[in-house]
Structure 1
Amino acid sequence: MSHEETAAEAVTRKERFGALPERIRPEDMVETRPAVQHDPDRDAYDPDEFAVRYGL
């Protein structure tokens, strides 16, 4: 069973599959953002509070 392609089918196939899609850069495929929001209270270090809490 062979299928002979007509001119219209060939044009349709060429329009659909004739060109590769536009290239996507690897930088555009990855989104970077912090895992957790920045919390200034959590990142604050008070040596006096540390000494009172753990040293006395």
Structure 2
Amino acid sequence: MEHKRTSADVAQRQRSLRFSELPEPIRLKDTVEERPAVAHDSVSGAYNPDWWLIRMGGL
């Protein structure tokens, strides 16, 4: 007597369809986002030589 495993066959078929080919390659230029740099606002935030010390938690 042969035991048929139809649910396992269906699952195996779905796995083979899912993993049978590699995904589409991603172009390198599609992985980079370019934004223009923002100029320093010298009117509202005058130059502070200790900015890096304050910003990095040194004080």
Q: TM-score, normalised by structure 1?
A: 0.46
Name the structure, 1 or 2, with higher relative contact order (CA <8 Å, separation 6+).
2
Structure (1 or 2) with the greater helix fraction: 1
Q: TM-score, normalised by structure 2?
A: 0.44
Larger radius of gyration: 1
